[in-house]
Structure 1
Amino acid sequence: MAHVPQIKVPATYIRGGTSKGVFFRLQDLPERCQVPGEARDKLFMRVIGSPDPYSAHIDGMGGATSSTSKCVILSKSSQPDHDVDYLYGQVSIDKAFVDWSGNCGNLSTAAGAFALHAGLVDPARIPQNGTCVVRIWQANIQKTIIAHVPVTNGQVQETGDFELDGVTFPAAEIVLEFLDPSDDGEEGGSMFPTGNLVDDLEVPGIGTLKATMISAGIPTVFVEAEAIGYKGTELREDINTNPEALARFEAIRVAGALRMGLIKTAEEAATRQHTPKIAFVAKPVDYLSSSGKTVSAGDVDLLARALSMGKLHHAMMGTAAVAIGTAAAVPGTLVNLAAGGGERSAVRFGHPSGTLRVGAEATQVNGEWTVTKAIMSRSARVLMEGWVRVPGDAF
């Protein structure tokens, strides 16, 4: 019996922040995958190696974690005053779907660098040496991201001495600006969809929890660590090896998604794993990070842990970091209170791999809170480039 041979698709494997993914130029995709739909989703699932009942991604490019099960499409921008359109797909590990409901803040860094690598930025805008300001249209959430990409001899400068907790080796620093990151294109248009800075969230089987629900960077449900039996110092194995704990977090996430109006029924949450995120916060205490380095209480403003695709993240998602920075800038939220309260334009928080600083400019207009910009530094590095191969009948 004859089998359909594999095909080659031009692709680049890139680390961005504490994530990595397979990047494509839109025009390099097979024709039927150049438009949204089943063919594109099937291609990306086969590239990553999903769905995988073994949760190992042995037969694909994925790494069997939410941080490494990602695909990105870049193209010349369809928007005025932008360089590229950036579309992000979070590929489920053990289920057959790709979640297009949100952005990846970490890979936003790599999107800026890849725009240059892929020849998608006007050469006239690229300095021979200096910083190239790449104007990115984030197509999933209809927002603008500005990436300040270092350039040496006309090429992306990837090596450097910028260290990022959660990434083993230093690299060149890329500064990201998330413009007007609140609302994320969700219906309602408010940074706080419920209209409150803190809500009483009823969670079936758990009870009523205080929660801050915010749409900034990515829709996120924040709860207090102490209220759910944690200290805020937990590492991945403390949560991810406990099925009952993961089920409780998913119940809180689903309740938050319903309250935020992101889904109409609890059943919808199964196909919307990427958003909202569920995170818990606490006041600073000393703890040992996953690398063995001590994070001192005096070095951070608060502690934060977040789950992505049903598992505790090994560091912090970039979009969730935007949510943390924004919520911290609004007096009275649970995140702000964990950081000590008051007005803040930036916070440094402790996460499982270390610390991260994020700034946010939040203001109140006509009684409504809004954020004009969130800023953080990450890095990006091309790991491999060439072609990714998939069976020709996989999509």
Structure 2
Amino acid sequence: MAYAAQIKIPATYMRGGTSKGVFFNLLDLPAVAQVPGAARDALLLRVIGSPDPYEKQIDGMGAATSSTSKTVIVSKSLRADHDVDYLFGQVSIDKPFVDWSGNCGNLSAAVGSFAISSGLVDPARLPQNGTAVVRIWQANIGKTIIAHVPMTDGAVQETGDFELDGVTFPAAEVQLEFLNPAADEEGGGGSMFPTGNLVDALEVPGVGTLNVTMINAGIPTIFVNARDVGYTGAELQNDINSDPKALALFETIRAHGALRMGLIAHLDDAAKRQHTPKVAFVAGPTEYVSSSGKVVKAQDVDLLVRALSMGKLHHAMMGTAAVAIGTAAAIPGTLVNLAAGGELRSAVRFGHPSGTLRVGAEAQQVDGEWTVTKAIMSRSARVLMEGWVRVPGDCF
């Protein structure tokens, strides 16, 4: 029996923030995968090593966590005021689908440097030394991200002394601006708060009625008070991920919240939309020991936040969820703001399982409606490997 030979596709394996993913230049993909559809999804699934019933992704580039089962496609922008278009695909580990419903804020930090190194940014816009400003169109959600990428001798500067909790080694700092991060198309008629409320009473079968803040900024996110679901907010990954009942609880909250936000039409649809919305629980400041053994003191944070991604507690914090946290913290009356002390603020530092993170947001109320012009945070990014990925030629 004859078998199809492997083909090789130019690719770059990058870390961005606390995530890793396989990056492609759109034009390097096989022609049939340069457009959305089943062929593209099948190709990316095979690259990452999914679906894998063993949940290890041994036969692919994934590393069997939501933070590492990711793909990115970048191309020259079709918009005159942007440099590149960026499309993110969250690859399911054990199921045969790619979720295109949201962005990855962590990998957003690597898009600018990938675009520069791949020749997708006009050289006339790049300083020999200093900071390059890369204008990114986030195609999944239709938003603009501005990446400030350090340059040295005409090349991206990746090494440095910027430390990011959740990442072992220091690197160069990349500042990201998420412009107008609140949704204007998805669910709830385009409102930042799809129900029109800062806090809602959400009925969850088997749980009861929970106070929640449902916000669509950065990524659709459902916030609940930690104490209302039996937690302190200082939990680490194993505390949640080793408990099937806990995971089922948060998935039930997520599904009912998604329905209430107008993101899905039926509860069953939540299983087909794993990447969004996120569900997170918040609490006031308290001292705890992070996953690295570092003590996070209560006075060093404004609040604690734990968030789940693709059905598991995240080891640090998703970048897009950090945007949601910063935005909600800036708006008095949300559960996030109340957990942080209830003050009007333009920035917040929160504790997550790996340490702390600071994110800023500029919020204002206009005609009774809250708007956010931008959210700002710092990340780092680094090329881990570049060359080609190989897949069987008949896999897509």
Task: Give the counterpart letter for 2:201 in structure 1.
Answer: D
Distance in 2 (CA, whole Å) between partners of 1:78 and 1:307 is 34
Q: What corresponds to 1:311 in structure 2?
A: 312
Q: What corresponds to 1:351 in structure 2?
A: 352
Distance in 2 (CA, whole Å) between partners of 1:79 and 1:125 is 16
Distance in 2 (CA, whole Å) between partners of 1:83 and 1:381 is 20
Distance in 2 (CA, whole Å) between partners of 1:278 and 1:325 is 15
Task: Give the counterpart letter for 1:13 in structure 2.
Answer: Y
Q: What corresponds to 2:337 in structure 1?
A: 336
Offset at residue 204 of structure 1 (A): 1.2
Distance in 1 (CA, whole Å) between partners of 2:306 and 2:345 is 20
Offset at residue 139 of structure 1 (A): 0.2
Task: Give the counterpart letter for 2:238 in structure 1.
Answer: E
Alignment of 1:248 with 2:264, yes or no, is no
Task: Give the counterpart letter for 1:372 in structure 2.
Answer: T
Instruction: Name the % identity.
Output: 78
Counting only pairs closer than 5 Å after superposition, residues 153-164 of structure 1 correspond to structure 2 as 153-164=153-164
Q: What corresponds to 2:113 in structure 1?
A: 113
Q: What corresponds to 1:300 in structure 2?
A: 301
Q: Deviations over 1:307-348 (max 9, x none)?
A: 000000000000000000000000000000000002010000
Q: Is the 8 A contact 1:184 1:219 kept in 2?
A: no
Task: Give the counterpart letter for 1:78 in structure 2.
Answer: L
Decide whether aligned partners of structure 1 residues 323 and 65 sit closer, same or farther in structure 2, where only a CA change above 3 A counts: same
Q: Is the 8 A contact 2:184 2:191 kept in 1?
A: no
Task: Give the counterpart letter for 1:216 in structure 2.
Answer: A
Offset at residue 112 of structure 1 (A): 1.1
TM-score (norm 1): 1.00
Distance in 1 (CA, whole Å) between partners of 2:190 and 2:240 is 33
Counting only pairs closer than 5 Å after superposition, residues 367-378 of structure 1 correspond to structure 2 as 367-378=368-379
Q: What corresponds to 2:34 in structure 1?
A: 34
Q: Secondary structure at the match of 2:286?
A: coil
Q: What corresponds to 2:126 in structure 1?
A: 126
Q: Deviations over 1:190-242 (max 9, x none)?
A: 00000000000001111100000000000000000000000000000000011
Q: What corresponds to 2:22 in structure 1?
A: 22
Q: Secondary structure at the match of 1:67?
A: coil
Task: Give the counterpart letter for 1:47 in structure 2.
Answer: V
Q: Secondary structure at the match of 1:35?
A: coil
Aligned length: 395
Distance in 2 (CA, whole Å) between partners of 1:226 and 1:217 is 25
Decide whether aligned partners of structure 1 residues 175 and 184 sit closer, same or farther in structure 2, where only a CA change above 3 A counts: farther
Offset at residue 184 of structure 1 (A): 5.8
Distance in 1 (CA, whole Å) between partners of 2:168 and 2:176 is 20
Distance in 1 (CA, whole Å) between partners of 2:343 and 2:350 is 16
Q: What corresponds to 2:90 in structure 1?
A: 90
Alignment of 1:224 with 2:225, yes or no, is yes
Distance in 1 (CA, whole Å) between partners of 2:77 and 2:227 is 45
Q: Is the 8 A contact 2:221 2:276 kept in 1?
A: yes
Counting only pairs closer than 5 Å after superposition, residues 1-395 of structure 1 correspond to structure 2 as 1-183=1-183, 185-187=185-187, 188-395=189-396
Distance in 2 (CA, whole Å) between partners of 1:345 and 1:337 is 14
Offset at residue 113 of structure 1 (A): 1.0
Q: Secondary structure at the match of 1:66?
A: coil
Q: Secondary structure at the match of 1:23?
A: strand
Distance in 2 (CA, whole Å) between partners of 1:43 and 1:206 is 40
Distance in 2 (CA, whole Å) between partners of 1:113 and 1:347 is 27
Q: Secondary structure at the match of 2:383?
A: strand
Distance in 2 (CA, whole Å) between partners of 1:375 and 1:224 is 25
Offset at residue 36 of structure 1 (A): 0.1
Q: Secondary structure at the match of 2:107?
A: helix
Offset at residue 376 of structure 1 (A): 0.1
Distance in 2 (CA, whole Å) between partners of 1:370 and 1:184 is 11
Q: Structure 1: any 5+ residue segments left out of the alignment?
A: none
Q: Secondary structure at the match of 2:59?
A: coil
Q: Secondary structure at the match of 1:264?
A: coil
Q: Is the 8 A contact 1:184 1:216 kept in 2?
A: no
Distance in 2 (CA, whole Å) between partners of 1:78 and 1:122 is 14
Q: Is the 8 A contact 2:163 2:170 kept in 1?
A: yes
Q: Deviations over 1:326-378 (max 9, x none)?
A: 00000000000000002010000000000000000011111111100000000
Distance in 1 (CA, whole Å) between partners of 2:366 and 2:255 is 30
TM-score (norm 2): 0.99
Distance in 1 (CA, whole Å) between partners of 2:51 and 2:271 is 14
Offset at residue 66 of structure 1 (A): 0.4
Task: Give the counterpart letter for 1:138 in structure 2.
Answer: Q
Distance in 2 (CA, whole Å) between partners of 1:88 and 1:264 is 23
Q: Is the 8 A contact 1:184 1:217 kept in 2?
A: no
Decide whether aligned partners of structure 1 residues 60 and 234 sit closer, same or farther in structure 2, where only a CA change above 3 A counts: same
Distance in 1 (CA, whole Å) between partners of 2:160 and 2:76 is 28
Offset at residue 80 of structure 1 (A): 2.0
Distance in 1 (CA, whole Å) between partners of 2:184 and 2:227 is 29
Distance in 1 (CA, whole Å) between partners of 2:325 and 2:45 is 30
Q: Secondary structure at the match of 1:356?
A: strand
Offset at residue 98 of structure 1 (A): 0.2
Offset at residue 185 of structure 1 (A): 3.2
Distance in 1 (CA, whole Å) between partners of 2:267 and 2:7 is 39
Task: Give the counterpart letter for 2:253 in structure 1.
Answer: I
Distance in 1 (CA, whole Å) between partners of 2:325 and 2:80 is 30
Q: Is the 8 A contact 2:17 2:109 kept in 1?
A: yes
